[in-house]
């Protein structure tokens, strides 16, 4: 990517355990700064789908009962909670086992905000 400031609005989440498939967009609304020729660790994201408590919480997925399995996995009636943690050492071991070239480069840390509210805004 070119260096600059980017807005990461969402990422996709899919539950796929045959024959059931469902999911939807996980709201993130993170602003990140990318430096050229760099690798940056943004944090460890834990995403959990839970039942929505009210209509102000974003749905975890659309309601299409004849087209997909979202009602079965709870995406229509659920919402996503996102928690960001700094697990740099633990995560880097996993990344290096998958991508050994990371042993030879500097990985910078720029941890995203720790949690989000149901509208996708960072809370502390």
pLDDT per residue as tens digits for the range 22-41: 777 888 888 888 888 899 99
Please report the pLDDT score of residue 90 as a whole number: 97
Please report the pLDDT score of residue 65 as a whole number: 58
Q: How far is CA 124 from the centre of its chain?
A: 17
Decide which of 90 and 69 is more confident.
90
Render pLDDT for 91-100 as a digit per residue (tens, 0 to 9): 999 999 999 9
> In the predicted model, is pLDDT for residue 118 greater than 90?
no
Alpha helices (H) along the chain: 70-73, 88-98
Decide which of 99 and 68 is more confident.
99
How many angstroms separate the CA atoms of 71 and 49, rounded? 13
Q: How far is CA 83 from the centre of its chain?
A: 9
Please report the pLDDT score of residue 82 as a whole number: 86
Burial 96-115 (b: 16+ CB within 10 A, else e): eeeeeeeeeeeeeeeebbee
Read off the pTM: 0.71
Angle at 31 between CA 91 and CA 103, to 5 degrees: 30
The answer to whether 13 touches 26, Cβ cutoff 8 Å, is yes
How many angstroms separate the CA atoms of 79 and 60, rounded? 4
């Amino acid at each position: 990517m070119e260096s600059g400031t980017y807005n990461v609005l969402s990422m996709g989440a899919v539950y796929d355990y045959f024959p059931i498939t469902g999911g939807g967009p996980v709201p993130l609304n993170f602003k990140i700064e990318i430096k050229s020729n760099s690798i940056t660790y943004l944090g460890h994201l834990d995403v959990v789908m839970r039942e929505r408590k009210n209509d102000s919480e974003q749905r975890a997925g659309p309601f299409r009962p004849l087209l997909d399995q979202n009602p079965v996995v709870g995406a229509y009636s659920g919402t996503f909670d996102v928690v960001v943690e700094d697990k740099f050492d633990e995560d880097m071991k996993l990344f290096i086992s998958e991508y050994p070239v990371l042993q030879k480069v500097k990985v910078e840390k720029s941890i995203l905000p720790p949690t989000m509210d149901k509208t996708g805004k960072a809370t502390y």
